[in-house]
Structure 1
């Protein structure tokens, strides 16, 4: 995957004014912003939206991991969002010809930074909605702030159930951990004929903990067994002790609900220890960086994803063609497709609402049914969740390869 920098991006629709890219505010401006943020946290009232004027730009916030250890996910998501917004502006804008302006904040894949970014986007930039994040832990930081300020939030890829439980202004365009955990458990039993699987999950990731639990529940309910349950912490680089314990358990496969960085290292170390058993995972693996870091060690793995670049659906084919044209021939991964669909959901809802007024926009998002995008059809349920199909992927000859689709 190509390197990417917000500072280097010259497109006028994308702002590079993240807290780390900006010059410091004058003291009076900083105090004003802090006062506004404090007022929001105390009162729970929505800020005035200057972008809700009769004319002028419509400001949309984005919070992504443009840098840091999940940067591949964040950069892909960002490119998908940019593409959707550029298309809307090329059609003449929204609500009587008003252009969309995307203001992007980089959380550097760090805990705590997403909350800071959300407060800045809401109180100072007065965005009408926030797109982000992919990681569930970081989406949870944003969700509580967005809900208190009555700012609609759409997560492209956070699958933990707790994200949308934050309130009625919080939505997502991806499937839930409960669904993809069940999908992979059934695939392991029915398609791979596996009966004893070990799990290796992160204790510090809501995504990893939830996915491991849902996988385990379905796998055991079907008459199979969990041979071992091993844990690690975010940022760990040595997994040999856990893998050695798994080898002793005589498991016939390992389920690893993690993001691509740790997963690639786990796969390499597993193969170095002589573990040739199947390795299974979730949508956190859906990045070309997994192939780049893992190399031959990720050959033959299986994971669940919301999308495949091998899809033959008309909407997916159109998205892939436009994405390749916009981003120098690059093939979009699942996070790019989810970013595009998150922005598409917001754009479609703005058009149906006919206003940027928060409650009306929230109602329009919540009433979405049958929206066709890069990842297929999106129906938003009563809890703000998207009902989506899951795609099973593998790695064959050093490339991601489509296996099949499982519907809700």
Structure 2
């Protein structure tokens, strides 16, 4: 895709990171990268007064990235990393890996895996007596996990996932700026909109980013046509247009009123996008900036949102 100079929208949680030196092609990453997730998990551990951690991690690019970022950031904050364990997804049993991970007696063990494998691990962990306590990665915020584990087995354990609150819906308080208060009106409105169109079915959290990806593309194409008279032939040029549209200096266009937004874009008026998942602002390479991650827990057969966690790391995505 880079060689062909093709634009590549990346809304998924586990999408590739954005390279730092591309001048052909154009990647735009909407959801927080594994580095954001790992940073937020490390911050959560500090807020919970945890001194030692380790991880039980699937050997795939995304989950290894989450685990590595978590470990690196936690040790930089003064915590101690204990021996961790990796595994290959699709095995018949994970008994040995579970035993090895919890033999370190870490105060928290990060479970970084996809739901199908994680449900097997959690079930075997519950049967073995529930040693230790978990942190849960963002891919595990799905009803698929809850439906395939012993009910209540993960109650009270904490996880993080991308926040769906707009930046303008959040307020940081406290001398150390560690307390974040966010409302969720925008996300709730999108869920209602989606459900009315899909027979009452609520969207998965990641679906918010996919919706936004389509709208960002449309806005970029319409604005390019209005200002240059042509659709961009270069993926890099389209990426640049979308980045520039989403400057904080521009007025916001809400997903709730795209008809009016498109009319302004066709008149050559630049607008940034306040979408279903975020108010978008991109770095010079096309990676969306994120200030917070959503903290959550499990209660029976439901996920419960808690106060968000600020992301304070300086890093490359």
TM-score interval w.r.t. the shorter chain? Answer: 0.7 to 0.9
Q: What corresponds to 2:109 in structure 1?
A: 254
* CA deviation profile, 1:7-57 (whole Å, cap 9, x unmatched): xxxxxxxxxxxxxxxxxxxxxxxxxxxxxxxxxxxxxxxxxxxxxxxxxxx
Residues 164, 184 of structure 2: 8 Å contact kept: no
Q: What corresponds to 1:387 in structure 2?
A: 289
In 2, Cα distance between the equivalents of 1:171 and 1:250?
40
Q: What corresponds to 2:233 in structure 1?
A: 358
Q: Going by fraction, where is helix more abundant, 1 or 2?
A: 1
- The TM-score normalised by the length of structure 1 is 0.59
In 1, Cα distance between the equivalents of 2:186 and 2:215?
12
In 2, Cα distance between the equivalents of 1:313 and 1:251?
34
Q: What corresponds to 1:373 in structure 2?
A: 275
In 2, Cα distance between the equivalents of 1:163 and 1:381?
10
- After the TM superposition, which residues 233-248 of structure 1 pair with which residues of structure 2 at under 5 Å, given as runs? 233-248=88-103
- The TM-score normalised by the length of structure 2 is 0.75
In 1, Cα distance between the equivalents of 2:287 and 2:28?
6
- After the TM superposition, which residues 310-349 of structure 1 pair with which residues of structure 2 at under 5 Å, given as runs? 312-349=183-220
How far residue 327 of structure 1 moved from its aligned partner, in angstroms, is 1.4
* CA deviation profile, 1:373-393 (whole Å, cap 9, x unmatched): 121211111121111231112
Residues 197, 252 of structure 1: 8 Å contact kept: yes
Q: What corresponds to 1:199 in structure 2?
A: 55
Unaligned runs of 5+ in 2: 166-181, 248-271, 312-317
Residues 54, 106 of structure 2: 8 Å contact kept: yes
How far residue 324 of structure 1 moved from its aligned partner, in angstroms, is 0.7
Q: Which has the higher contact order (CA 8 A, sep 6+)?
A: 2
Aligned to 2:149, the other structure's residue is in SS state: helix
Aligned to 2:307, the other structure's residue is in SS state: strand
Residues 286, 305 of structure 1: 8 Å contact kept: yes
How far residue 161 of structure 1 moved from its aligned partner, in angstroms, is 6.1
In 2, Cα distance between the equivalents of 1:166 and 1:240?
43
In 2, Cα distance between the equivalents of 1:174 and 1:164?
15
In 2, Cα distance between the equivalents of 1:201 and 1:182?
16
Change in 2 beyond 3 A, CA 1:223/1:282: same
Structure 1 residue 170 corresponds to structure 2 residue 23: no
Residues 315, 372 of structure 1: 8 Å contact kept: no
Change in 2 beyond 3 A, CA 1:194/1:246: same
Aligned-residue RMSD, C-alpha: 2.2
Structure 1 residue 181 corresponds to structure 2 residue 56: no
Residues 283, 304 of structure 1: 8 Å contact kept: yes
Q: What corresponds to 1:400 in structure 2?
A: 303
Aligned to 1:304, the other structure's residue is in SS state: strand
